[in-house]
Structure formats: C-alpha cells, structure tokens
Amino acid sequence: MTISRGREAAVAGAETRTGIIIIGSGFGGLGMAIRLRQEGRDDFLILERAGDVGGTWRDNTYPGAACDVQSHLYSFSFALNPEWSHSFSRQPEIQAYLRRTAEEYEILPRVRFHHEVTSAEWDEAAGHWRVRAAGRDFAAPVLVMAAGALSDPMIPAIPGLDAFRGRAFHSSQWDHAYDLAGKRVAVIGTGASAIQFVPAIQPVVGRLHLFQRTPPWIIPRHDRPLGRAGQALFRRVPAAQKAVRAGIYLAREAFVFGFRNPRAMAVAQRTALRHLRRSVPDPVLRAKLTPDFTMGCKRVLLSNDYLPALTRPNVEVVTDAIAEIRARSIITRDRVEREVDAIILGTGFRPTDPPLAPVTRGREGRTLAEAWKGSPQAHLGTTVAGFPNLFILLGPNTGLGHTSVVYMIEAQLEHVIRALRHMRETGVAALEPRPEAQAAFVAEVDRRMRGTVWTHGGCASWYLDETGRNSTLWPDFTWRFRRRLSRFDPSEYRMTTMDGRMPR
C-alpha cells in the first residue's frame, strides 16, 4: 500500500530573503497574505507544499465533501461571496472561492508552489528565521505558520495495513483513478469525513463494510440551494448578506452554552435520537449507531443521508475491533475474516502532533515539539515563548467544534497585524511572549475547559493530546477569543531592538 505523506523536490539555490515567510496557502495563509497587502506590505512569500492554494479544501476531494458550517459564515468577512450556491457549499465551490480570492488580491505571484518546508530555525545573531523548503533556503525576520491543524493524515497503526495488497488510501488523499464500482470496500472510521463519503459511495460499491469504533452524534443538516434572487440581493446589498452571516453566527454560538453545561446537551441529543429513529427502523442496527457519550464531546456531525445509507442491503456496520489486516482481507477480534478489494481510511488527522513542530527550532535551539512535550501551548493560541517572531495560525486551543474556524483565523490575523505594526512603530526587531504571560493564558484556557463536555463528556476524542489535556479547542464563546486578541499588549511580550537592547 502507498499512502503519500507530502511532496518534496530538491533543487539547490541561493538564500531568498523576504520580510515575512508564510507556510501554507489555505484559509490561514491566504488570509494573512491578504491582510498584509491591505496593510501596504508585499515583502512576504508563501511556501506551499502542493501545486495549488486551498489547504484542506484543495486536499479533501472525496465524494460528498462539503462544509458543515454554512458558507455565508465559513468565508472571509473581507471577501464575502454573494454567489454561494448552497447553504453548505461543496468542496469544489469552496476551493474555487479560495483560488478566486487569491487571484483578486494578487497573492499567487507571492506563492512558491511545491515547496514543502523541512526545517525552520531562528538565527539569533542575524535576527531572522532560516527556512528550508524543497532544498532551497529562505530567510525572513517573521515566520507565520499557517500549515493547518488538519493537514496530515492519521494513518492508524493497525497490524498488517502495510501488507494489504488491494487499494488503500486516506480520505484526504482520495484516489479518483480507482473505480469503486462493484468493489468490496472497507471504510475505517465514522467521523466528519466518513459520514460525507459513505453515502456518496454506497450506491456504487458492491459491498461496504463500515468499521465503526465509536458511533457519532448526528443531527439533521438543513441544506438548501440558494436561489438567484437571494444571490442578486446579496450582490446589490452586502449589508443583507452580513445580516444573514450574523444570524448564522449567533445561532451556532448557542452551542457553547451546551458545551459548557453538558446536561443542557440533552435537548440536542433528543433531536439526534429522533433523527436516528426516523432514519434507521431496525432496532439492532440502531443500537449499534447509538452514542454512549455526551453530545459535543466529539464533533457534532450533520447529515441527512449517512444513516439511511447504512440501512441499505449492501452495507454492514462492523463494531468488533479490527485485529489485523491481511493481503486481501480484514480480520476482527471475533476472528471473522472479510475479503475486501479496497480500504478507505476515514481516520482523521494529527492536530496535537503538528508535523512542523519537530523541525521548528527557536532561540535556545529547542524545537517546538521539545518545548511542548506532547501538549501544544501558545500565548493567545498564536505566539510561543522562546520562538521569536513566530505566529501560528490555528495554533493550540484555537479549534472549534461548532462554528467557523475562519472567524478564529481572522481574530488571529488582526492580532498579528497589530504586533507587526507595533514592531515597525517602535523599532522592535524580535518579540515573543513572556513565559509568565503564556502560562497565565494557558491556565485561563484550562480553567475555562473545566466541567465542559470535552473533559466531562465520557469520550476519548482527538481534541485531547497525549497528556490528556485539551490543547485543541477554544473552550468559550468565539467572540471572547476575538475580544482577547483585539488588543496587542506590549507588556505581555519580551522584545529586543536590532542591537539587542530593550525598546524605548
């Protein structure tokens, strides 16, 4: 089996210098570039490992891929799109929106495609980051990491997976050349990706064995095509689209009450159980699909067609754990062997173990991975003590389970812009959070996390890192995050000028 983990090219060359290096060209990297342009800066470069912009929306092309947050909210506030065709847009439309936005803001000439970053080191003497990508060297005083929290696939350590002789691939690396028609297909995982592609492939495949470890909570998805009249109105009256956006924002924010008071999730759970009863008449199958943890502990999923697809005669929901994979089959712990032609891994990503962490070295020569010791931490989810002029978009504790992460990215972008302005205005060459400021923020996050559905929901989720801490999610209303990041407080940072002095 071959599962690619990224692309690399080795071309020797001289060091390229710029003002700001941005890693990644998804929502985060493009948003940063656009905000820099709006600030009148074009001394930046984006290093992108793939051949196009779009990040997760470029990579996740699996059948049925769509956003489970309404597009009027899941888009840049500074690049509203009146033309969305559905409330919940499909992947090609989101990818096209990102590409178009990059073109409109003339970002593409600043992107170095097929440049996978292999190391980033702070050079204290020179006062800049040295970044290596595709065998080339780049240097800049400021490094913005926008490589995405959900960019590298999690390939499960199931014995024998490497020895499988059929076709195997991860949902984020979909093999469109492989014809699934009539095939015996195993799907491993029942998360946000699987519930979208399972109903899309079920009518095509011969047999579908769905290996489920944990049944997710699923609520109906109220998707509808957005008519021409609405699009025309939004084109002519942007305020109308902003009002719709605000309405969606407020409705989704209501989930936070439940996340912070797990017992209040009972109302939404009743909706989900009604949805399950209506979709799955067979009580035995329904029992298999009934979650035993509090809703919200794992991401709440939205789908109208996943549960009905599981009732079709060519689908089997397997709840026995996988013991091993052989050349042409999967064997479960109860020793049942199922022959399959293909395995599709819907097993998610590695957000608490970001691939750049072991290769990013700060002021004292330590890597981010060494500083974090398995539990990522950052001041305001954005800057890290010991790592000067490093800004991480969608860094630790900035993820969400209920609404648009683009909102969080935009809050971070404003913070980075404020920090950069401060540096320019005061002659600061390098800044990083004071360890005590970072520790206070992390303590505040941990305090807000207490008693929430993520720590008291009775599930093991990928939100938790190897130390058991939730270092992934923001545990409160998102407007609180935005308000917290809306000011740049110099007293929270250690700053130096060009000659190593403290600034005036």
Q: Using CB under 6 A as the criterion, which residues of the chain lie in contact with ligand NAP when the complex forms?
A: 67-69, 150, 156, 158, 171, 188-194, 211, 213-214, 298-299, 322, 346-349, 462
Residue 139 has φ and ψ, to the nearest 5°, of -140, 140
Q: 268 with 254: CB under 8 angstroms? A: no
CA angle 248, 144, 433 (to 5 degrees): 95
Minimum CB–partner distance for residue 357 and ligand NAP (Å): 19
Please say which residue, 211 or 493, places its beta carbon nearer to ligand NAP.
Answer: 211
The secondary element (H helix, E strand) that includes residue 37 is: helix 27-38
Minimum CB–partner distance for residue 203 and ligand NAP (Å): 20
Please say which residue, 148 or 362, places its beta carbon nearer to ligand NAP.
Answer: 148
Minimum CB–partner distance for residue 211 and ligand NAP (Å): 6
Residue from 268, 265, 310, 307 nearest 458 by CA: 265
* Residue 500, CA distances (Å) to 124, 366, 425 in order: 10, 21, 17
Residue from 278, 328, 338, 91 nearest 200 by CA: 91
Please say which residue, 25 or 60, places its beta carbon nearer to ligand NAP.
Answer: 60
Minimum CB–partner distance for residue 10 and ligand NAP (Å): 31
Please say which residue, 184 or 299, places its beta carbon nearer to ligand NAP.
Answer: 299
Amino acid identity for residue 8 in this structure: E
Minimum CB–partner distance for residue 109 and ligand NAP (Å): 30
At 354, list the tokens: 């970001």
DSSP 379: B
CA angle 286, 349, 463 (to 5 degrees): 75
Please say which residue, 188 or 295, places its beta carbon nearer to ligand NAP.
Answer: 188
Please say which residue, 91 or 360, places its beta carbon nearer to ligand NAP.
Answer: 91
Please say which residue, 133 or 400, places its beta carbon nearer to ligand NAP.
Answer: 400
Please say which residue, 27 or 129, places its beta carbon nearer to ligand NAP.
Answer: 27
Burial class (CB in 10 A: 0-12, 13-18, 19+), 89: buried
Minimum CB–partner distance for residue 90 and ligand NAP (Å): 10
| Residues ≥6 apart with Cβ < 8 Å to 116 | 6, 7, 8, 47, 49, 133, 134
Q: How far apart are alpha carbons 452 and 364 in whole angstroms?
A: 36
Minimum CB–partner distance for residue 69 and ligand NAP (Å): 6
Please say which residue, 372 or 462, places its beta carbon nearer to ligand NAP.
Answer: 462
Instruction: State which residue has the least CB distance to ligand NAP.
Output: 191
At 469, list the tokens: 């801490």
Q: How far apart are alpha carbons 474 and 450 in whole angstroms?
A: 12
Minimum CB–partner distance for residue 374 and ligand NAP (Å): 18
Minimum CB–partner distance for residue 153 and ligand NAP (Å): 8
Helices (H) and strands (E) in the chain, counts: 15, 22
DSSP 3-state of 313: coil
Q: 73 with 8: CB under 8 angstroms? A: no
Please say which residue, 129 or 211, places its beta carbon nearer to ligand NAP.
Answer: 211
* Residue 37, CA distances (Å) to 115, 266, 279 in order: 22, 47, 49
DSSP 204-258: TSSEEEEE-SSPPPEE-----BPPHHHHHHHHH-HHHHHHHHHHHHHHHHTHHHH
Minimum CB–partner distance for residue 193 and ligand NAP (Å): 3
Helix axes 238-253, 228-236, angle to 10 degrees: 110
Q: How far apart are alpha carbons 429 and 497 in whole angstroms?
A: 5
Minimum CB–partner distance for residue 490 and ligand NAP (Å): 34
Amino acid identity for residue 310 in this structure: L
Burial class (CB in 10 A: 0-12, 13-18, 19+), 226: buried
Place of tokens 């014809």: 179
Amino acid identity for residue 277 in this structure: R
Please say which residue, 20 or 406, places its beta carbon nearer to ligand NAP.
Answer: 406
DSSP 295: T
Please say which residue, 69 or 307, places its beta carbon nearer to ligand NAP.
Answer: 69
Minimum CB–partner distance for residue 419 and ligand NAP (Å): 27
